Amino acid sequence: MAKPPPSMEQYYVGVDVGTASVRAALVARDGLVKATAEEPVRIWQPAPDRYVQSSDDIWDRCCRAIRRVTQGVEKSQVRGMGFDATCSLVVLDKHFQPVAINQDGVQEQNVMMWMDHRASEQAAHITSTGHQALRRVGGVMSPEMQPPKLLWLKENLRETCWKQAAHFFDLPDFLSWKATGSLERSLCTLVCKWTYCPQEGWDTSFWEAIGLEDLLTDNCSKIGALTCCPGTSLGEGLSAQAAAETQLKTGTAVAASLIDAHAGGLGVIGADVKGLSLPCEDQPMTSRMAVVCGTSSCHMGISQQPLYVPGVWGPYFSVMVPGLWLNEGGQSATGKLIDFMVEGHAAFPQLKILAEKRFVWVYSYLNRHLETMAGDSGHLGTLAASLHVWPDFHGNRSPLADPTLRGMVVGLTLSRTVDDLALLYLATVQSIALGTRHILDTMQETGHDIRTLFLCGGLSKNALFVQTHADVTGLPVALPFQTEAVLVGAAVLGACASRDYSSIQVKKKSAISAFAAANQNKSKMEYSL
């Protein structure tokens, strides 16, 4: 696609498909976000631990969001587009039509979401094989990865789904296929969620050992015969059909995608922090950890050499930052857990009324309420000293790697006041931060040298969440000046695909430079922005 005249601004579109919504951003060459849009996506929960979506609904919402952020812009100014998404499983037939993944046979419900844990028994079975491929996922197969989900479909829906399915996509790859028609899969998805090895390809012995040898036929076409690095320009760019749906130009560059957490990591981990007096300044990028925190949280640590961390996914080579190895820890429910605890409390209706009267977010109200409860002492963190939360309500992803674990609360009283709700909220946030500390300590013990946390995602906009992570880990926390770091990371892919930049790293350095630091030694929630 021809470049616009030098006098015209050039833009890149980043699309982020999260758990409950699609977001898009129009990003300029300097990394500044010019416009954003958000569209909700449908979620069905047909049974406990089952979460289902529709790929048609998701794509429709992507197109709507893209149209909204690019309205009023000359289409020739949009140079490239990148997608990121949750690592959910999309099932299509030989005609690329949805295949139902539930016993009720509703065709549009063809996406098994990342947080769907129906395949926990299959995950345990795969772990029991002790196959060498498990070494790259911390030694334990998670039900949030694709092999156990695939095995569940074969064992439980053989006739209605398994035999009808011709294409199994990770959601990020489905989006890039939908935009371009290219069946190339991103190494980010295949390596991190499917056990693919870039050097050796698909390990046939693994798929045979777990009873999914039928996926190896026809050069593994059902799960991905062609692979490429994230940011690679796919096919001929935006297809005619996708161009009509997004109202962009046919041929606009579209990049091989990333998992959403990896896009967030890409969006923050390479930032210029000179002058902020952070311990990672003038140190290699390996001294940083990106914590992408939203519905769940992912903890991304990179290294020059492969490091094997028990209960932590990886090491994966070049799946986020080219040339570096990635270890990915995580917590399966963080933002979702906070919402669950707060909204389920008897005082929540009263809290909503109080927050609405002050025209503030309920969590902003709770944060201020806790400061009032702490008074002049400033010891906000000790208010919940007698209340304790074990946060694994949806299992433990890392480092215990046990999806069967469940949460608990110790220290409850008969109180049902807003004060009581605020303390439960505080204890929940602290428990999540302690989970991060557990992951961090485990990674440090195996060779990582992490000196600064870089937070992004929805929870990074919560001051208490950020400060608590600094307090509990003893590390400074850096926050992006551009708060939509995940969207910027997706846009970086589009910029790379457009060939306006020679690599992801070059674009990354130019896109994000301004950060604010949260000092772990501050007694109150104070920030210099």
Q: Which pLDDT tens digit goes with each residue over 412-426? A: 999 999 999 999 999
* Residue 510 pLDDT greater than 60, yes or no: no
**Per-residue model confidence (pLDDT) at position 3:** 64
* Residue 522 pLDDT greater than 70, yes or no: no
* Residue 519 pLDDT greater than 70, yes or no: no
Q: Which amino acid is at 279?
A: P
Percent of the chain at pLDDT above 90? 88
Radius of gyration of the chain (CA): 22
Question: Which residues, in sequence order, are CB contacts of 35 under 8 Å at separation 6+?
Answer: 25, 26, 68, 69, 70
* Residue 509 pLDDT greater than 70, yes or no: no
- Mean per-residue pLDDT, 255-270: 94
Read off the pLDDT band of 272 (50, 70, 90): confident
The alpha carbon torsion through 139, 141, 144, 146 (nearest 10 deg) reads 120
CA–CA dist 197, 286 (Å, integer): 22
- Mean per-residue pLDDT, 23-27: 98
Q: What are phi and psi of 223, to 5 degrees?
A: -115, -5
Q: Which pLDDT tens digit goes with each residue over 354-382? A: 999 999 999 999 999 999 999 988 799 99
- Nearest CA to 115 out of 74, 87, 82, 79 is that of 87
Tell me the three state secondary structure of residue 340.
helix
**Per-residue model confidence (pLDDT) at position 271:** 87
Q: Pairing relation of β-strands 227-228 and 185-186?
A: parallel
19, 115 contact by CB (below 8 A) = yes
Question: Which residues, in sequence order, are CB contacts of 105 under 8 Å at separation 6+?
Answer: 160
Read off the pLDDT band of 503 (50, 70, 90): low
Q: Which of 106-115, 281-290, 297-306, 371-380 has the lowest mean pLDDT?
A: 371-380
* Residue 299 pLDDT greater than 70, yes or no: yes
- Mean per-residue pLDDT, 133-140: 95
Q: Pairing relation of β-strands 325-331 and 258-259?
A: unpaired
Q: Which of 188-197, 266-275, 432-441 has the lowest mean pLDDT?
A: 266-275
The DSSP 8-state label assigned to residue 158 in this structure reads: I
Q: Which of 303-307, 330-334, 440-444, 515-519 has the lowest mean pLDDT?
A: 515-519
- Nearest CA to 25 out of 510, 509, 483 is that of 483
Percent of the chain at pLDDT above 70? 93
CA–CA dist 144, 138 (Å, integer): 14
Q: Tokens for 160, please give them.
A: 């209605």
- Per DSSP, the residues of 463-528 read HHHHHHHHHHH-S-EEEESSS-HHHHHHHHHHHHHTTSSSSHHHHHHHH---EEEE-TT-SS----
Q: Could you tell me the CA-to-CA distances from 163 to 94, 167, 324, 452, 476 in Å, in that order? A: 11, 11, 39, 49, 52
Pick 1 or 99 by higher pLDDT. Answer: 99
**Per-residue model confidence (pLDDT) at position 506:** 43
Pick 209 or 1 by higher pLDDT. Answer: 209
Q: Which pLDDT tens digit goes with each residue over 151-185? A: 999 999 999 999 999 999 999 999 999 999 999 99
